[in-house]
Structure formats: structure tokens, C-alpha cells
Amino acid sequence: MIELKPAAELAAAASKPYPNDSADYRRARTAPLAEEIELRRHIERVAAQRRTLPLGGEARGYTFRDANDATLQLADLFGPHDTLVTYTWMFGPQRPRPCPMCTAFLDAFDGPVRTLTQRVGIAVLGRSPVARQLAFARERGWRRLQFFQTVGDDFARDYRALGPKGEEWAALHVWIKRDGRVHHFWAPELAGTEDPGQDPRGAPDPTPLWNILDLTPGGRGTDWYPTLD
């Protein structure tokens, strides 16, 4: 195993002043730089642990509809890949408009999906007909995302996108296909683990909205959420 240099040592060597930085600013900046190095290492340790997960439970025979109203199985959504990432967004038939947070996530997802699909399949799932989902996608300017409708609510209920009282939740899942069978591989399971005064969030959070705001002096704020307009 390679012995890593202490983060504080790396931070001290990497910390270089920008124009007109004070000595106080540079000293203060070097401290979180060491923490950022440790955070990067921690993120990679967790990612490595995820990659060694065994196969999760085999998916049942859920069905979906595509933009042509064709009926598909979960295995059909993989395309040429053996890995599939699905995002179930909160835009069920009872909602006049989609969830703003889901919309913010898909805003950031539409561009890189062109590159992501070089390695994995990507599918956006909703409880509304695909035509309704696509109408909002056109309004929003999304061009590359592929949308599918869940047939019935079994999939949404089983994979924590629909609660017992009909409440919708967003759900990100990773699936893997082995020997023609689809297995669940990973999903965030942090709901209910947030610290006091903290909104639920991923580790790391997959939403660029929050990642960028975390770099700013005002951060995420305490009561701010995006709106559709």
C-alpha cells in the first residue's frame, strides 16, 4: 500500500497566494485546503467500497412505457451497457408542475448525459405519461434525457419513490445486469440521518446546485430552495 503524505503537508506545499492575498487570508485558506484533501481521500475510499458491493436483490418484472408507447422491461432500459442509472422524479399525475428540486437536478443532468451514456445507461422515470414529461422537458430546454413512464406504482413503491399515503419522493438508483438478470446495485440511504438543523443531502451530494453553493460565502442558506421560474 502506498503511504500517503499528510494532508497538512500537501496543503502547505500547494497553498500559493493569489494577487494581494494577505498573510492572514493565506494561513486561513490553508487550513480548509488540508480538509479538502482529506475529504477527497474519504470520497475515494467510499467510492472504492461501493465498487466492491455484491449484487443486490434481483428486480421483479416491472414494466415501463417509452415515448412511442411501447412496453419495456427494466432490462430494456440499459441500452448497450451492463449498468443503468435511473432517476425517478416527482412529477406524478396529481402534480400540476414538477418538483423544483427534481427539476434542478435534471437541469444539470441533461448536458452530461451525452458523455455519461458512453459508459452507462441513463433513464428518467416518472409516474406521468411520457408525453407529459416531454412537454415539460421541451419547456425547460432539455434535449438529451430519455423519459419513461412506470406502469402502475409497484416500482415506485418498492424503490422508495412513493410513500404509503401517495407522497412522492425522488429516487436515484444504480442497476447492474448479469446473465440477463437485473440486480439492484446502489441507492442513497441517508434519509433520516441528517444532523440537527441540516437538510437531507447526499454524501457527496449529486446535485451541482448544492455543490456550487457550498463554495460560496452564503452557502446553501437555511430556508432557500429553487423555484421553477
pLDDT in tens, 164-206: 999 999 999 999 999 999 999 999 999 999 999 888 888 888 8
pLDDT mean over 5-28? 97
Helix (H, G, I), strand (E, B) or coil at 171: strand
The whole-number pLDDT of residue 102 equals 97
User: Which pTM value belongs to this model?
Assistant: 0.92
- 80: amino acid identity, one letter: P
Cis peptide before 204 (omega within 30 of 0): yes
Q: What is the pLDDT of residues 63-115, one digit of tens each?
A: 999 999 999 999 999 999 999 999 999 999 999 999 999 999 999 999 999 99
CA 81, CA 47: separation in Å to the nearest integer? 20
Q: In degrees rounded to 5, what are phi and psi of residue 216?
A: -100, 160
> Average pLDDT, whole number, for the chain?
95
The closest alpha carbon to 204, from 159, 170, 172, belongs to 172
Block residue for cell numbers 500517503? 4
The whole-number pLDDT of residue 197 equals 87
Write the CATH number of the domain with boundaries 63-186.
Answer: 3.40.30.10
Which residues, in sequence order, are CB contacts of 210 under 8 Å at separation 6+? 201, 220
Residue 153 pLDDT exceeds 90: yes
CA 173, CA 208: separation in Å to the nearest integer? 18
Looking at the chain, list the stretches that DSSP marks H as alpha helix, in order from N- to C-terminal side. Answer: 7-14, 23-51, 100-110, 113-116, 130-140, 154-158, 208-213
pLDDT mean over 142-152? 98
Which residues, in sequence order, are CB contacts of 226 under 8 Å at separation 6+? 100, 101, 103, 104, 209
The closest alpha carbon to 146, from 218, 217, 64, belongs to 64
- Alpha-carbon separation of residue 102 from 109, 131, 172, 189, 205 (angstroms): 10, 18, 11, 17, 13
Residue 2 pLDDT exceeds 90: no
The whole-number pLDDT of residue 208 equals 87
Q: Contacts for 39-45 with beta carbons within 8 Å, 24 or more apart?
A: 41/4, 41/7, 43/204
Where do the structural domains in the chain lie, given as residue ranges?
7-14+26-46, 63-186
Identify whether the C-beta of residue 64 lies closer than 8 Å to the C-beta of residue 150: yes
The whole-number pLDDT of residue 222 equals 85
